Amino acid sequence: MQFENALTERYCAPGEAITLAANATAGIAAALIALGVKGNVLIPAFTFPATLSAVVMAGARPWVLDVDTETWGISADALEQALRTGNHEAALVVVPFGVRIDLRRHFEACTRYGAALVVDNAPGLGAAAAPLPAGRFMEVYSLHATKPFAIGEGGAIRAHRGESELLRRALNFGLLRGAPPNGTWGINGKMPEISAAVGLAVLEDFGAMLAARRRAVSRYIAAMRAHSGLAYVDELDRSPWQTFPVLLPSAEMLDEFIARAAAAGLEIRNCHRPTLEDWPGATKTGPCPVSSSLSQRMACIPVYSDITRREISTIIGIVDASLAGISLHPA
Ligand SMILES: Cc1ncc(COP(=O)(O)O)c(C=O)c1O
């Protein structure tokens, strides 16, 4: 409760509250259960498989949609069209790499079509967030060891305060102490006390961790300017920066970049290959060429909460040399 209250105070708008979960996958599943979603849920093809797992875990059906070239997420127009032409109860919109995108039109489209919207912003806790509009809307963060706010395993759901009880039930087998059953079921998605204690300790140092991450990314952004043909976000305050995503012009160039960096001792990851387009349990709303192309060209440059200035310089040196070694023009 103490950790929940502390996160609520720091990251919620008035009228909102954080509910903690065992991890973000359970948190998203609980959000869908609490919002009464049982049918078709739109999800992006370009995401980590947990997005889809959470829908299945909630007893709903994932419908995969392509993403947009510019934001790397589901566009408001694509969402609106899918809601207009399909039978979808909800959307699970991912904030790509925790780099905030404008979701106002997404919320409006869901309101128009009576759909719930859960924002999967797994790596995004720490960046300023817009208040949730009135309606069936929630946002979920991961506190996994790989995320900026890292406690081992954990999840946090930001919701309208009135929905906290439903979330608690959904995370506790459908049970709420002292209350009669309400006709909904639940999962075992509770955060253990020991994880909450770790969370309270992390919270004390989180400001310094964020500052270190932003310092690294601001130097990465400056270094990227020397190379043409790359796409990346250059607004520091849009993310707590789990990683620094950079889009290369072609799959061949990405493979060469990764190989050159690895030879120099730096692991650059490629996200999210494969996409969820043909993932077991998924139904496609249509082909997903943008997601597929992004997944073959996306490089994730490492960022750490305890990264030193010297490590940043070493990473930049390897990234620079590796990029300079390949020709950055579309094949
Ligand atoms: C977009 C996205 N959603 C959900 C998750 C799942 O988070 P957790 O590991 O806390 O269940 C992840 C994990 O990396 C993720 O990247």
CATH number at residue 127: 3.40.640.10
Locate 307 and state its tokens.
């990264």
8 Å CB contact between 58 and 33: yes
| Pocket residue to mutate for ligand 1, from 43, 138, 144, most atoms within 8 A of Cβ | 144
pLDDT for the residue numbered 81: 98
Locate 271 and state its tokens.
């996200």
- Ligand 1 centroid to 46 CA: how many Å? 13
pLDDT for the residue numbered 182: 87
Q: Is 23 in the pocket of ligand 1 (CB under 6 A)?
A: yes
Residue 95 alpha carbon, nearest atom of ligand 1: 1
Locate 44 and state its tokens.
């992006």
Is the same domain home to 191 and 218? no
Q: Is 124 in the pocket of ligand 1 (CB under 6 A)?
A: no
Helices 289-297 and 251-263: angle between axes, nearest 10 degrees: 20
138 CB-side CA count, 13 A: 34
Asked whether residue 329 is domain-assigned, the answer is no
Q: What is the CATH number of the domain that holds 293?
A: 3.90.1150.10
- Ligand 1 centroid to 24 CA: how many Å? 6
Final residue in a domain of this structure, among 149, 167, 199: 199
Final residue in a domain of this structure, among 168, 199, 230: 199
Asked whether residue 331 is domain-assigned, the answer is no
pLDDT for the residue numbered 329: 55
Q: Which residues of 273-298 are buried (b: 16+ CB within 10 A; e: fewer)?
A: bebbbebeebeebeebebbbbbbbbb
- Ligand 1 centroid to 256 CA: how many Å? 28
Final residue in a domain of this structure, among 182, 199, 216: 199
| Pocket residue to mutate for ligand 1, from 41, 46, 48, most atoms within 8 A of Cβ | 48
Is the same domain home to 170 and 233? no
pLDDT for the residue numbered 328: 60
Asked whether residue 54 is domain-assigned, the answer is yes
Is the same domain home to 62 and 164? yes
Residue 123 alpha carbon, nearest atom of ligand 1: 16
Q: Tell me the β-bridge partners of 61.
A: 40
Q: Give the mean pLDDT of the chain.
A: 96
Q: For residues 32 and 137, what is the distance between their CA atoms, to the nearest angstrom?
A: 10
Is the same domain home to 221 and 284? yes
Cis peptide before 274 (omega within 30 of 0): yes
Is the same domain home to 193 and 214? no
Is the same domain home to 65 and 80? yes
In the chain, the number of structural domains is 2
Asked whether residue 36 is domain-assigned, the answer is yes
330 pLDDT tier (thresholds 50, 70, 90): low
Q: Is 157 in the pocket of ligand 1 (CB under 6 A)?
A: no
Q: Is 150 in the pocket of ligand 1 (CB under 6 A)?
A: no
pLDDT for the residue numbered 253: 96
Is the same domain home to 187 and 243? no
Is the same domain home to 177 and 229? no
164 pLDDT tier (thresholds 50, 70, 90): very high
- Tell me the residue range of the domain where 11 lies: 2-199
Q: Is 50 in the pocket of ligand 1 (CB under 6 A)?
A: yes
What number is the average pLDDT over the span 255-270?
97
Q: Does residue 288 register a pLDDT over 70?
A: yes
181 pLDDT tier (thresholds 50, 70, 90): confident
Lowest-confidence region among 2-6, 55-59, 230-234, 277-281: 277-281
- Ligand 1 centroid to 142 CA: how many Å? 6
Q: How far is CA 54 from CA 29, 92, 218, in A?
A: 5, 10, 33
- Ligand 1 centroid to 98 CA: how many Å? 11
325 pLDDT tier (thresholds 50, 70, 90): confident
Is the same domain home to 123 and 259? no
> What predicted TM-score, i.e. pTM, was given to this entire model?
0.97
326 pLDDT tier (thresholds 50, 70, 90): confident
Q: Is 122 in the pocket of ligand 1 (CB under 6 A)?
A: yes
Is the same domain home to 95 and 195? yes
Instruction: Report the nearest-CA residue for atom 16 of ligand 1.
Output: 48
Q: Does residue 312 register a pLDDT over 70?
A: yes
pLDDT for the residue numbered 239: 98
Is the same domain home to 85 and 49? yes
Per the model's pLDDT, the better-predicted residue between 181 and 62 turns out to be 62
Asked whether residue 185 is domain-assigned, the answer is yes
Q: Does residue 104 register a pLDDT over 80?
A: yes
What number is the average pLDDT over the span 75-104?
97
Q: N- to C-terminal Cα distance for the chain?
A: 54
Instruction: Report the nearest-CA residue for atom 7 of ligand 1.
Output: 24
Residue 23 alpha carbon, nearest atom of ligand 1: 10
Is the same domain home to 43 and 153? yes
64 pLDDT tier (thresholds 50, 70, 90): very high
Asked whether residue 330 is domain-assigned, the answer is no
